[in-house]
Structure 1
Amino acid sequence: MKSLIAAICVAALPNLGGAESLKTIFVDVTNETTIDGYLWLKRPVIVFANTDLDVNFQTQMKSLHQGAEELAARDVVVLVDANPAEETALRKKFRPRGFAVLLMGKDGQIKLRKPFPWDARELSRSIDKMPMRQQEMRSK
């Protein structure tokens, strides 16, 4: 899985102006990964798949990498879990069935759950409709 993510990252580098942006927005889920560390700071987008070879997973990751700048501007962190054998804390909590994308608010609540890939632009629009995001935009 890491080799696939690395390949997608390299392909997206020209659009981002460097690898530093990718390091801060994309996180491989481990057994210790929880949502608690992101509360009130970030909007987690969790991508679940049974394998990194899943076509939906590959499509989703490509879209997220292409829209990484837009997502970073909205305080998004992408948590990637494509290995069900590890039975991570996030898998136990959210119980995905195959491929799933979850958008969470800064308050830790699930705002959206999709069983299919979601375009980064659509994701950004959904975030922009959230009351907390609208408040952030007004205060800037």
Structure 2
Amino acid sequence: MKPLFTIVFSLVFPFALGATEVTDTGAAAQDTALAAQAETVTDAQDEALDPDTTLLFLDAREVDVRDFIWERRIIVVMAETPDDPQFNRQLDALRERAAEFIERDAVVIFDAHPQDRSTLRQVLRPRAFMTAIIDKDGEVKARRPAVRSGRELMAVIDRFPTRRQEMLEQRPAGR
């Protein structure tokens, strides 16, 4: 079932890439503004957004998830409205630990517009607020209908087999 879901998941995302950014230093726009004013990135801007140094916050309506398979882990944050307090708290928790999420090859994809029926929303089918983590292999590894702290999200990511392998490769003396 998982391989079939992964294949279906990777085939259902025909979007143009769009982004807003939050840097390691924590400079961030207001949460509601982030959700409401995400704009399409031009080629020149795309080059300036380096996911190795910047935690990207991408709008689900404007992103192709296939671009991240085998490259990045995806943290998905969904809500019924950009003004949802849980939605804003979750984005704040991610911003607070941006450098640590960058180290874990993560990007954040948010969707606070259920009326637009993004493909990601159709696949994950949240009932209201939801946070999910999609590993590099395209498989949904964790989902929860509540806010998760940055520390908790990182602990979940660190348990993934692909992340454990990365940690061993970065620090081979730990074997």
Normalised-by-shorter TM-score class: 0.7 to 0.9
Q: 1:45 aligns with which of 54, 71, 75?
A: 75
Aligned-residue offset at 1:35: 2.1
Q: Deviations over 1:52-109 (max 9, x none)?
A: 1111111101101101111111001100101111111111111111100110110011
> TM-score, normalization: structure 2?
0.66
> Does the CA-based 8 Å contact 1:43-1:76 persist in structure 2?
yes
Secondary structure at 2:29's aligned position in 1?
helix
CA contact (8 A) 1:47 1:81 kept: yes
**Structure with greater helix percent:** 1
1:24-53 Cα shifts (integer Å, max 9, x gaps): 5211221x5332111100000110000111
Residue from 58, 61, 81 that aligns with 1:27: 58
Mapped to 1, the partners of 2:156 and 2:142 lie a distance apart of 9
Question: Using the alignment, how far apart are the partners of 1:44 and 1:130 within structure 2?
Answer: 13
Please give the residue correspondences for 1:6-21 in structure 2 after superposition, counting only pairs within 5 Å: 6-8=29-31, 21=53
Aligned runs of 1:1-140 on 2, under 5 Å?
Answer: 6-8=29-31, 21-22=53-54, 24-30=55-61, 32-140=62-170
Q: Which has the larger radius of gyration?
A: 2
The answer to which structure, 1 or 2, has the higher relative contact order (CA under 8 A, 6+ apart) is 1
Deviation at 1:132, TM superposition (A): 0.8
Deviation at residue 125 of structure 1 after TM alignment: 1.1
Please list every run of 5 or more consecutive structure 2 residues that lacks an aligned counterpart in the other structure. Answer: 1-19, 21-27, 32-48, 171-175
Matches of 1:6 and 1:96 in 2, distance apart?
Answer: 25
Partner of 2:39 in structure 1? none
Structure 2 Cα separation of the partners of residues 50 and 138 of structure 1: 39
**TM-score computed with the length of structure 1 as normaliser:** 0.82
Output the CA distance in 1 between the equivalents of 2:101 and 2:86: 19
> 3-state SS of the aligned residue for 1:25?
strand
Q: Percent identity among equivalent residues?
A: 35
Letter in 2 for 1:103: I
Output the CA distance in 2 between the equivalents of 1:104 and 1:35. 10
Q: CA deviation at 1:7?
A: 1.6
Aligned Cα RMSD in Å?
A: 1.9
Within 2, Cα distance between the matches of 1:138 and 1:25? Answer: 25
Q: 1: CA distance between counterparts of 2:117 and 2:166?
A: 35
Q: How many residues align?
A: 125
